Amino acid sequence: MNTREKILTTAAFLFQKNGYHATGLNEIIKESGTPKGSLYYYFPNGKEELVAATIKLMGDKIQHQIEEELAKNSDPVQAFKEFILDLARDFNEKDHENCFSISLLALETVSMSESLRKTCIEVYDLWTDIYYHKLVDSGFSSEKATELSSILQLMIEGAITVSLIRNDTTMLVAAAEKIPILLDNN
């Protein structure tokens, strides 16, 4: 892992754990074990630039996880249900240390930065697009896939957010159980 990746990975963890305002640049430098100059070399515009890069990193990691999970099953009902249940298992098994969501960071920064808001929209749109393509590839019309992919995005992110807040997976499991009803293609 190169220095930039160390900084971003550490920042992602700390922003997820402590939030934007409670995470300082010095804490990121200390926890990542990188020189102070490196942070400013890679992110000369400061904390906001670092947060945007962190959101993109988290978004890419989650994108790959979504793609891998949905590719495991050709049946969209089973694919989405298993994806959500895997999120719940990861949440429990890893003590949600690696259960990243950009929702909490997005909510904390949306009113302070238009560029961060746009970065979050790009990431959410990317994930929604993956859901859309899975549905279209599974036989849903483009119109229906557009509607359902947005609903899936809202349901999954909402369940993750509530699970993080409650420190349990009840909402993730409930969301998984509703997938057959949501994706009934009749």
pLDDT digits (tens, 9 = 90+) for 159-185: 988 988 898 999 999 999 999 999 986
Would you say residue 95 has pLDDT above 80? no
Domain regions of the chain by residue span:
52-182
Cα-based distances in Å from 183 to 72, 74, 76, 81: 17, 14, 8, 10
Dist. CA 43–CA 55, nearest whole Å: 14
CATH (one of 3.30.70.1890, 1.10.357.10, 3.90.700.10, 3.40.50.1470) for 52-182: 1.10.357.10
Q: What is the mean pLDDT of residues 127-155?
A: 97
Dist. CA 132–CA 162, nearest whole Å: 24
Q: What is the mean pLDDT of residues 68-95?
A: 89
Would you say residue 97 has pLDDT above 60? no
Share the mean pLDDT of the chain: 90
105 contacts 37 by C-beta, under 8 angstroms = no
Q: pLDDT at position 186, please?
A: 46
pLDDT level of residue 93 (50, 70, 90 thresholds):
low
Q: pLDDT at position 100, please?
A: 60
